[in-house]
Amino acid sequence: MSNYPSASPAVATKLTHPDGSPIRVLAVDDEPSLTDLMKMALKYEGWDVRTAASGEQALNVVRDFRPDVVILDIMLPDLDGMSVLQRLRTAGDDVPVLFLTAKDSLDDRIAGLTAGGDDYVTKPFSLEEVVARLRGLIRRTALTAPAADSVITVGDLTLDEDSYEVSRAGQQIDLTATEFELLRFLMRNPRRVLSKAQILDRVWSYEFDGKASVVELYISYLRKKIDNGRTPMIHTVRGAGYMLKAAD
């Protein structure tokens, strides 16, 4: 139990939907003691929390509850977390997913992100860390109150932080939560070289064990969606990082 301490009472500003309704969170794990602790910590944030102990149960709860974010254990008694996520994505559900797992190899982490997950926490972890990661995902998906000057434009590429819409030359582009946050960071810094370390710190809000491969992976995802068949906007500056600039 000591591996999963309760959240600190000194929490940050509570996040809600723009209409004041609570953020909806689904926590999926087959350890009742762990889901109970997560539920307690997340309710302290003011969020509406449901739990599930299996993959099938999680899919049923998603259909009925329509969560804003999902905490998903990879090792489940029926469907594993990867299979649950695959079914969600196949059904067109792009709900942000934070993976939980006892596995700690880089390959497992990359596999989770490649499958469409948005972030990753390895057991044992602190509940404070889980809450912080969830707050980051929630902010990325524009679930909370809109900010001023929400539209960013670089050349023919436009990103709306309020509606979570991205388009290039008038053609809509669908992005995951992490892809959106990465693109936003690049677009807010046009013609500026951003190092992998800067991107890790800004987009993932923590060092991914110092592994830059996750940045390379998501840059490749963005290129396929933003630059595919068009004049490239995302450029690699060898030995320095990445830069986004308007197409010539």
DSSP calls for 2-42? TTSPPPPS---SPPB-TTSPBPEEEEE-S-HHHHHHHHHHH
Q: What is the mean pLDDT of residues 103-123?
A: 68
Mean pLDDT of the chain: 82
Q: Final residue of a domain: which of 124, 142, 160? A: 142
Residue 115 belongs to some domain of the structure:
yes
- In terms of domains, do 109 and 174 share one? no
**138-161 per-position pLDDT tens digit:** 877 655 544 445 788 999 999 987
- In terms of domains, do 114 and 170 share one? no
Residue 130 belongs to some domain of the structure:
yes
For 245, residues 6+ apart whose C-beta sits below 8 A from its C-beta are 154, 155, 190, 191, 233, 235
Which CATH number covers residue 67?
3.40.50.2300
**191-213 per-position pLDDT tens digit:** 999 998 888 877 775 544 556 78
CA separation for the pair 74, 173 (Å, rounded): 29
- In terms of domains, do 39 and 132 share one? yes
Domains of the chain: total: 2
- In terms of domains, do 138 and 155 share one? no
- In terms of domains, do 30 and 138 share one? yes
**233-242 per-position pLDDT tens digit:** 999 999 899 9
Containing structural domain, residue 91: 24-142
- In terms of domains, do 160 and 108 share one? no
- In terms of domains, do 53 and 138 share one? yes
Q: What is the mean pLDDT of residues 26-52?
A: 92
Q: Final residue of a domain: which of 78, 110, 142? A: 142
Q: Final residue of a domain: which of 103, 118, 142? A: 142
What is the rounded (10 degree) CA torsion for 208, 210, 212, 217? -20
Residue 211 belongs to some domain of the structure:
yes
